[in-house]
């Protein structure tokens, strides 16, 4: 999967973290247990949290 990793390597720390959080929210095995709106709220929160770190 090197090209996906290359792509992620090119991202700054803020985006890398945001990417992992977003995927975990929707892809991890427990994702189905949360409602759509809860997931959206959490994603919005993750985006706002990530703004503490600058992104290029």
Partner 1 sequence: MIIKELRLGNFLVFPGEQALELPTDGESNLVVILAPNNTGKTNIIRALKFLFYGHLPDCNEVTAYRLIHDGVREAAHVGTEVSGWVEATLELDDEELTLRRTVKARKMGKDQWMAAEITFGKLVREPKLRLFLDSDGVYQTKIRTMVPEQLFDAFYFKGEPLDGKLLGGVGAIRDSLASFLHEDRWEEVERAAEQVRQRYTSELRRLADKNQVYTRLLNDEELFRGHVVKEEAKLEKKKEDLEDAIAKFNELTGRLQDLGRGNEAEKWVVQLRDLRSRQETARRTSEKADAEIARLVGSSRGIPFLLSAMPAARKILAALQEENILPADVSERFVDRVLAAPTCVCGRSHDDQTRLAWNRYKAKTLSLDMNRGLSDLLNALQDSNSHSFSRVSAEVARKIQDAQARRKQALLDLANCDAPIQDLEKKLKASPLEEIRVITQKLRETGNLRDRLKGEVAQLENSIRGMRQNLNNIKCQLEKARPAGAAAVKERRLQQARARAEKLRLLIHESREALTRTFHELLQQSVTEYYDQSAYDGSKARINRATLLPSIESNGQIHGNLGGGQSQLLALAYIVSLSRLRKSLHTQMQELGIGFGRVDDQSFFLDSPFNHVTEHYAQAIARFLAGNARQVIVLVARQQWTLVRTMLEPAARKLLGFKYHTLKEKLKELRAKDPKLEDFVYDVNGCKVSLIEELPKSEAGPFTTIIPIH
**d(C-alpha 10, C-alpha 13), whole Å:** 9
Q: Closest approach of Cβ 54 to partner 1, in Å?
A: 10
**d(C-alpha 44, C-alpha 50), whole Å:** 10
| Positions in the binding site for partner 1 (CB under 8 A) | 1-8, 11, 15, 18-20, 22-31, 39-40, 43-44, 47-48, 50-51, 55
Q: Closest approach of Cβ 26 to partner 1, in Å?
A: 4
Alpha helices in 12-53 (DSSP H): 13-27, 36-50
Q: Closest approach of Cβ 30 to partner 1, in Å?
A: 8
């Amino acid at each position: 999967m090197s090209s996906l990793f290359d792509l992620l390597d090119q991202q700054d720390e803020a985006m890398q973290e945001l990417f992992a959080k977003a995927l975990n929210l929707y892809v991890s095995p427990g994702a189905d247990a949360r409602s759509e709106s809860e997931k959206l709220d959490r994603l919005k929160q993750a985006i706002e949290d990530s703004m503490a770190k600058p992104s290029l």
